């Protein structure tokens, strides 16, 4: 009888310790399972001054994902891209002037999303290297850029208007 009680206590303690470790140890986070995602990324190409990106997405990694990318290009200008994979629409803004680029949707989407593209590289880095706290830094497969991802929020409430051009 005492042996059975001891076994039950050991199992309960192991379950509690295991749950604590999984929630607090810096393991990976299921970013691709998020319904929405928001983060900033500083991308430094060959050691140059980083370019700052702000990424917002709804329906992450789904066929109806909507994506907004704000690029603070400094002297080169500020750019925003809004793409809706479900509706196959895309908008681009250069310094506040919006252009409907939906006729070139596939090219626009494939520039940012897909194997080896920035959105996918960032998502994979978060999925494999981010603990759920702080930032995540990685070097792109080409070795030319270092990307620091920070201000990461999983499942934020993102207004639909965020994914509409300000025309």
Going from N- to C-terminal start, the domains of the chain cover: 36-157
68 sits in which H/E element: strand 66-72
Q: Give average pLDDT by consecutive 10-residue segment, the chain, 167 residues.
A: 43 36 50 93 92 95 94 86 97 94 95 89 94 94 94 96 91
Query: Which pLDDT value is given to residue 27?
Result: 52
Query: Which pLDDT value is given to residue 61?
Result: 84
Measured CA distances, 10 to 5, 13, 15, 76 (Å)? 9, 5, 9, 62
- The CA distance from 53 to 70, in Å, is 6
Task: Assign 155 to helix, strand or coil.
Answer: coil
Query: Which pLDDT value is given to residue 153?
Result: 96
Task: Give Dmax over CA atoms of the chain in angstroms.
Answer: 77
pTM: 0.80
């Amino acid at each position: 009888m005492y042996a059975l009680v001891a076994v039950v206590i050991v199992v309960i303690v192991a379950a509690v310790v295991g749950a604590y470790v999984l929630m607090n140890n810096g393991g990976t986070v299921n970013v691709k399972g998020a319904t929405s995602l928001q983060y900033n990324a500083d991308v430094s190409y060959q050691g140059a001054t980083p370019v700052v990106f702000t990424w917002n997405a709804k329906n992450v990694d789904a066929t109806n994902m909507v994506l907004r990318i704000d690029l603070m290009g400094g002297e080169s200008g500020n750019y925003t891209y809004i793409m809706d994979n479900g509706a196959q629409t895309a908008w681009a803004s250069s310094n506040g002037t919006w252009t409907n680029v939906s006729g070139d949707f596939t090219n626009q989407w494939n520039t940012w999303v897909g194997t080896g593209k920035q959105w996918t590289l960032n998502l994979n880095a978060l999925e494999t290297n981010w603990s759920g706290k702080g930032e995540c830094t990685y070097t792109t497969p080409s070795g030319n850029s270092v990307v620091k991802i920070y201000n990461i929020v999983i499942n934020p409430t993102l207004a639909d208007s965020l994914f509409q051009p300000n025309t």
